[in-house]
Amino acid sequence: MAAVHPVIAPEARADAVLDVRDLSIDFATPRGPVHALREVNLTVPRGSVVGVVGESGSGKTTLISAAMRLLPDNAELRGGAVLFEGEDVLRMSPQALRNLRGQRISMVFQDPMTALNPVLSIGQQMVDIQYRDRGLGRAAKKRKAAELLRRVGIPDPMQRLGNYPHEFSGGMRQRIAIAMALLGNPELLIADEPTTALDVTMEAQIIHLLRELQQDYQSSILFISHNLGLIAELCDYVVILYAGTVVEQGTVRDVFHRPQHPYTEALLVCDPALLQDVTRELPTIPGDVPDLVNLPRGCIFAERCPRVFERCRAEDPATRWVSAGHAARCHLASPLERS
Ligand SMILES: Nc1ncnc2c1ncn2[C@@H]1O[C@H](COP(=O)(O)OP(=O)(O)OP(=O)(O)O)[C@@H](O)[C@H]1O
Ligand code: SF4
Ligand SMILES: [Mg+2]
């Protein structure tokens, strides 16, 4: 894990690869606008791994779609910016966007077949991805592809370049998808639940691989997951999303060992030791996620919060810094004494 320093604090945003600022996105629906993201702030500091965790419908996919500007047609930007290397993705030229996607930002999906073409050999696909690199001949591109396959743990990589995706196991395919994502030396890798489709052993191997690659290449990774154990294992920082709002964020150590938001506490069931278990999925918390069309007044978590009090139903809490780089959106959050 990288050294603990107050990176998500505003003054440290200068060296962020990705800096999402006050992002609010609605989706137009016949029932009225779905307020999918509201004033979301998060930063991916250069060379770090940031985990985003949240229940289904909390806005994870909307967030990464905004980062790539791949939002569906009914999405409406209500406010904010997505700064990638200081430039707002939501206002980039078409040319800049083409360079961004798949080149400066790469994605690894839950299903590796999303990234792989079933009717082309792996080698062909990996050479094709390097089309921008005009200075490199085909043989050199193949060597580069084989080198990355070797790095992600595919034996006999030069021979295996001739194989098609169906000739590999699910875990191998995900390794290949990761190799392909790294081919263009992206500044940011977004991994959207990359191990959900795999069994527990494969999952652990892929997480281990991502960690090694992150260290070797000093990559910056935005890692989306339902799995708290995996976030604890892989990430430097964690962002907890609830119903389209960031309710808590900070270093994994701070957030998991000293959670300040009742939702985070409920997720951890006050037992960070459980995080040693990498199979640990999000626990079920009693109650329902609020309707994002008719948002409640006051705190978004009030209906399910065991600590709710009168003010919570009247007033939406502001985000408060509880220590350097650790913030929570709750009326009860207050600066911590460091122990
Ligand atoms: N195109 C759309 N039109 C209308 N509503 C949408 C659209 N896309 C997403 N939503 C709604 O926006 C909210 C956030 O959805 P999103 O897909 O970002 O959640 P998620 O955290 O990725 O969930 P999951 O874990 O199930 O993938 C949800 O209430 C969802 O129903
Ligand atoms: S503001 Fe109130 S309802 Fe919201 S999380 Fe804090 S204590 Fe619970
Ligand atoms: Mg999703």
The ranges assigned to domains in the chain are 10-104+188-197+217-329, 113-185
Residues in the chain with pLDDT < 70? 1-14, 270-281, 337-339
pLDDT computed for residue 3 by the predictor: 31
Contact 189, 181 (CB under 8 A): yes
* pTM (2 d.p.): 0.91
| Residue 295 DSSP SS3 | coil
Our answer on whether the CB atom of 312 is closer than 6 Å to any ligand 2 atom is yes
pLDDT computed for residue 1 by the predictor: 32
Ligand having the closest approach to the CA of 242: 1
Our answer on whether the CB atom of 262 is closer than 6 Å to any ligand 2 atom is yes
How far are the Cα atoms of 77, 127, 185, 276 from residue 25, in angstroms, in the given order?
5, 37, 30, 35
How far are the Cα atoms of 67, 152, 225, 320 from residue 236, in angstroms, in the given order?
20, 22, 14, 20
Q: Among the residues of the chain, which ranges form H helices?
A: 60-67, 94-100, 122-129, 138-151, 157-160, 170-182, 200-217, 228-234, 252-257, 262-268, 310-314
Phi, psi dihedral angles at 164 (to 5 degrees): -95, 160
Say which residues have a Cβ less than 8 Å from residue 65's Cβ, sequence separation at least 6. Answer: 71, 72, 75
pLDDT computed for residue 321 by the predictor: 92
Question: Would you give the end-to-end CA distance of the chain in angstroms?
Answer: 21
pLDDT computed for residue 4 by the predictor: 30
pLDDT computed for residue 199 by the predictor: 85
Our answer on whether the CB atom of 317 is closer than 6 Å to any ligand 2 atom is yes
Q: Closest Cα to atom 17, ligand 1: which residue?
A: 61
Percent of residues in the chain assigned helix, strand, coil, to nearest 5: 35, 25, 40
pLDDT computed for residue 228 by the predictor: 87
Strand pairing partners for 308?
none
pLDDT computed for residue 338 by the predictor: 55
Q: What is the four-CA torsion angle of 149, 150, 152, 154, rounded to 10 degrees?
A: 80
Q: Best of 53, 61, 282 to mutate for ligand 1, by most ligand atoms within 8 A of CB?
A: 61
What type of residue sits at position 134? R
Q: C-alpha angle with apex 197: 275 to 82, nearest 5 degrees? A: 75
* Dist CA 83 CA 88 (whole Å): 4
Q: Is 133 exposed, middle or buried (0-12, 13-18, 19+ CB in 10 A)?
A: middle
pLDDT computed for residue 13 by the predictor: 66
pLDDT in tens, 150-209: 999 999 999 999 999 999 999 999 999 999 999 988 999 999 999 888 888 888 888 989
261 Cα nearest atom in ligand 2: 5
Ligand having the closest approach to the CA of 227: 1
Q: Best of 245, 332, 334 to mutate for ligand 2, by most ligand atoms within 8 A of CB?
A: 332
Query: Which one is the CATH code of 10-104+188-197+217-329: 3.40.50.1100, 2.120.10.30, 3.50.50.60, 3.40.50.300?
Result: 3.40.50.300
Our answer on whether the CB atom of 185 is closer than 6 Å to any ligand 1 atom is no
Contact 302, 296 (CB under 8 A): yes
Contact 4, 253 (CB under 8 A): yes
Tokens of 8: 């998500």
Ligand having the closest approach to the CA of 33: 1
Residue written as token pair 């060992």: 257
pLDDT in tens, 316-331: 999 999 998 999 999 9
Residue list, CB under 5 A from ion ligand 3: 60-61
308 Cα nearest atom in ligand 2: 3
Our answer on whether the CB atom of 268 is closer than 6 Å to any ligand 2 atom is no
Residue written as token pair 């309710």: 247
